[in-house]
Amino acid sequence: MFEKLAELSRKYEEVIGKLTTEEVLKDSDLLIKYGKEEADLKPYHKLYLTYLLTKKDLEDLKHLKNEESETDLLEEIEDEIVLTQLKLESLEEEAKVLLLPKDPQDDRGVIMEIRAAAGGEEAALFAANLFRMYSNYALIKGWKIALLSSHPTGLGGFKEIIFSIEGNSVFHYLRFESGVHRVQRVPETEASGRIHTSTATVAVMAEAEEAEISIKQEDLRIDVFNASGHGGQNVQKNETAIRITHIPSGIVVSCQDERSQLQNKEQAMKILRAKLMEEEQNRIAKEEAAQRKAQVGWGDRSEKIRTYNYPQNRVTDHRIGLTLYNLPEIMNGDLGELIHSLRVNYDQKRRERVG
């Protein structure tokens, strides 16, 4: 296991060396290529160095124990040995998880779809809050976000909003956000100060390449209509909005936010490919029961995954029983602890499954 880590650590040092060469610095494509390799290999290198240092500490402590004769110091050294051995065991478990086969989809960008569910206008406002939360998280991670389709409400909420996020390992971080998100708070529209419970659904779909999903032209029904803005304003004279129906699956996608019919069609096809790939992934997951057990809320839009309780400043993820009391920070995009905890839980279950 640590032999494999040593190999990956050496590869990391080779890549670091290449990144400083004149040939790579002058070639943007090579710079991007080796930059990505450096980012992918860095966790292995860091863990291997920590392992080597901890192993050296243990050897030094054992050597010191053999040379020490004073009772009090011996007890202190023995305690340090026990702690260092426990740290080594922990590093071994961490290495086992890190060396698990990587999901090829983890490196992909995603298409996210947020829909207001139960709660009327308050649910639509919550959908807008979730969009802002994920947008801020994307900014923190240095990712690029692009709006694909939206159906806003008069008070600033969204009945539905679909957007893409592109960057390094986006699906790796966001894959567990699919499901029902519940909010408990006093709505802006509530005069009596009574707490309401509303919900919004989130779907996270890995982006699909055109070559991966075969879509026959004869399987599509394409309708063109006038795009309109908020409250019927800014109605365009030209028919630029697109609605695409995939007849075999019954999936319907519409886009009207772009200025041209061609751009809207391209965006709609992008969403359709992601939806079709998600449908296929869910079918495979349901057939593979053992794999299904190792997943956390995988793609199930009907599963209540998280509650945002404003009066108690509390966010609870129901899948892993994690409760945090920093709701404002989370709603501003500070999702690091939540997402890390979900990832650790998922990787531990994968490790148990593969033995």
The per-residue pLDDT for range 95-125, each reduced to its tens digit, is 887 777 777 777 888 999 999 998 889 999 9
- Measured distance between the N- and C-terminal CA atoms of the chain, rounded to whole angstroms: 14
Structural domains counted in the chain = 2
Query: 347 and 296 share a domain?
Result: yes
The residue behind tokens 């709609």 is 268
Query: What's the pLDDT score for residue 292?
Result: 43
DSSP 346: H
Query: What's the pLDDT score for residue 235?
Result: 43
Output the furthest CA–CA distance in the chain (Å, rounded): 93
Query: 26 and 174 share a domain?
Result: no
The per-residue pLDDT for range 124-160, each reduced to its tens digit, is 999 999 999 999 999 999 999 999 888 999 889 999 9
Of the candidates 75, 40, 78, 73, which has an alpha carbon nearest to the alpha carbon of residue 61?
78
Query: What's the pLDDT score for residue 46?
Result: 93
- Locate 266 and state its tokens: 């391209």
Query: What's the pLDDT score for residue 232?
Result: 41
Residue 230 has pLDDT above 90, yes or no: no
Rounded CA-CA distance 305/170 in Å is: 20
Query: What's the pLDDT score for residue 330?
Result: 97
For 114-130, give one letter per residue: b (16+ CB within 10 A) or e: bbbbebebbbbbbbbbb
Query: 87 and 207 share a domain?
Result: no
User: Is 239 in contact with 165 (CB distance < 8 Å)?
Assistant: no
Average pLDDT over the chain, rounded to an integer: 85
Higher pLDDT, 353 or 304: 304
Query: 281 and 139 share a domain?
Result: yes
User: Is 127 in contact with 321 (CB distance < 8 Å)?
Assistant: no
The per-residue pLDDT for range 279-314, each reduced to its tens digit, is 877 776 665 544 444 444 444 556 789 999 999 999
Query: What's the pLDDT score for residue 290?
Result: 47
Query: 92 and 225 share a domain?
Result: no
Note the pTM of the prediction, 2 decimals. Answer: 0.68
Query: 76 and 109 share a domain?
Result: no
Provide, for the chain, the percentages of residues in helix, strand and coil under a 3-state DSSP scheme, each rounded to the nearest 5. 50, 20, 25
Owning domain of residue 29 = 2-98
User: Is 197 in contact with 307 (CB distance < 8 Å)?
Assistant: no
Residue 226 has pLDDT above 70, yes or no: yes
Query: 21 and 167 share a domain?
Result: no
User: Do the strands 144-152 and 179-185 form a parallel or antiparallel pair, or are they unpaired?
Assistant: unpaired
Residue 40 has pLDDT above 80, yes or no: yes
Give Cβ neighbours of residue 119 (< 8 Å, ≥ 6 apart): 126, 183, 196, 197, 198, 199
The per-residue pLDDT for range 169-209, each reduced to its tens digit, is 899 899 999 999 999 999 876 767 788 999 999 999 888 77
- What percentage of the chain carries pLDDT values higher than 90? 43
The residue behind tokens 């309780």 is 309
- Locate 292 and state its tokens: 């299904």
Show which of 67, 98, 129 is a domain's final residue. 98
Query: What's the pLDDT score for residue 47?
Result: 92
The CA-atom distances, in angstroms, between 158 and each of 29, 76, 162, 174, 186 are 39, 61, 10, 21, 18
Rounded CA-CA distance 235/28 in Å is: 43
Rounded CA-CA distance 156/96 in Å is: 47
